[in-house]
Structure 1
Amino acid sequence: TGTLSTQTHPWLTDHAIAGTPLLPGTAFVDLALHTGHHTSHPHLEELTLHTPMLLSGSPLDLQATLTPPHDGRRTLTIRTRPHTTTPDTTTPWTTHATATLTTTTPTDPGVDLTVWPPANATAIDVDDAYPLLAEHGYTYGPTFQGLTAAWHDDHHTYADITLPED
């Protein structure tokens, strides 16, 4: 459990679609992997996004729950509701994502990632990526502008992404 707020984490507003800040999909991956590492289920087999997590400026109570282990898997559910300072049992939770966490490494994706960039992948020019995305309503502020190179093949897109030092 926790509280998520653009007032305490203003960098979250750097990711917006059509002017509305929302939690990026990679943050759900990070939440899932963090939970998995603390519960001996460190591998993410599947992640399904159900509802965007809108970051309107009002704090959100965040809840991550797990089912009991079954066949080496656990289901994670990530929910929010408007933040309250008193115990609240009446405000419903919004489910944003569900994930399957496992104890075993996921199966091979069929691509040899020990060779980088992957064999038979074609380079993509990323110099104008962020201005082009902005023209289509996708805003990536400085915190989320780490794309340095990209490639694609018939089935996948690959990217080099560098996180800001701070």
Structure 2
Amino acid sequence: STSTHAWLADHVVSGAVIVPGAALVELAVRAGDEVGASRVRELTVGAPLVLPESGAVRVQVRVGAADETGTRVVAVHSQSEGDPEADWVRHAEGVLEPASADEPGVGEWPPVGASEVDVAGWYPALAERGLSYGPVFRGLRRVWTGGDEVFAEVVLPDEVAGDAAGFG
């Protein structure tokens, strides 16, 4: 709920407070940490996790049994806290796998040959499309493109940077 996680109120889509997709990824990664499969191979968002104006929702992350390679399915569901008989809604599902010791590191920054993109009008343009981001979600500083890849420099605003240690 926004009463326990006030920063979520800064993520508004078409007038509704929506849990960001990155938070769904964080939930999957954290659940994967518990079972030795913290690399997200795939995560598909099927329905937005809308937070009610009052009250809260229960969130459940389910991780399946590992196959012979250690791969597991993961799903994120929610249910209205005020109605324990309500159906659980699936918001995301995907695949977790064990992290590899040879994960690529960050190379030269910004990447060689990447072209910088002007982001000065980014947030006003998003607002015109119904995506209203408050200060907590305005961390995008610079963006580059190269081939079919996008690279971004994102900074947590000072008012929430101290809380970052509590997340993966």
Q: Compared with structure 1, are the counterparts of its residues 144 and 106 closer, same or farther at alpha carbon in structure 2 (3 Å cutoff)?
A: farther
Q: Distance in 1 between matches of 2:101 and 2:148?
A: 19
2:32–2:63 contact (8 Å) kept in structure 1: no
Aligned letter for 1:101? L
Aligned positions of 1:1-166 closer than 5 A: 5-57=1-53, 58-70=55-67, 71-84=69-82, 88=84, 90-105=85-100, 113-165=106-158, 166=160
Cα deviations by residue, 1:68-120 (Å, 9 ceiling, x for unpaired): 111211111100010038xx3x31100000121111439989xx841221222
Cα deviations by residue, 1:109-151 (Å, 9 ceiling, x for unpaired): 9xx8412212221101112211121122111101100001001
- Paired residues in the alignment total 157
Q: Distance in 2 between matches of 1:61 and 1:108?
A: 34
Q: Compared with structure 1, are the counterparts of its residues 73 and 106 closer, same or farther at alpha carbon in structure 2 (3 Å cutoff)?
A: farther
Aligned letter for 2:31? T
1:81–1:91 contact (8 Å) kept in structure 2: yes
Q: Compared with structure 1, are the counterparts of its residues 6 and 52 closer, same or farther at alpha carbon in structure 2 (3 Å cutoff)?
A: same
Q: CA RMSD in A?
A: 2.1
Segments of 5+ residues of structure 1 without an aligned counterpart are: none
- Normalised by the size of structure 1, how large is the TM-score? 0.86
Segments of 5+ residues of structure 2 without an aligned counterpart are: 161-168
Structure whose residues are more often helix by fraction: 2
Q: Compared with structure 1, are the counterparts of its residues 133 and 61 closer, same or farther at alpha carbon in structure 2 (3 Å cutoff)?
A: same
Q: Compared with structure 1, are the counterparts of its residues 51 and 128 closer, same or farther at alpha carbon in structure 2 (3 Å cutoff)?
A: same
1:45–1:106 contact (8 Å) kept in structure 2: no
* Offset at residue 153 of structure 1 (A): 2.4
Q: Compared with structure 1, are the counterparts of its residues 107 and 156 closer, same or farther at alpha carbon in structure 2 (3 Å cutoff)?
A: farther
* Offset at residue 36 of structure 1 (A): 1.1
SS at match of 1:37: helix
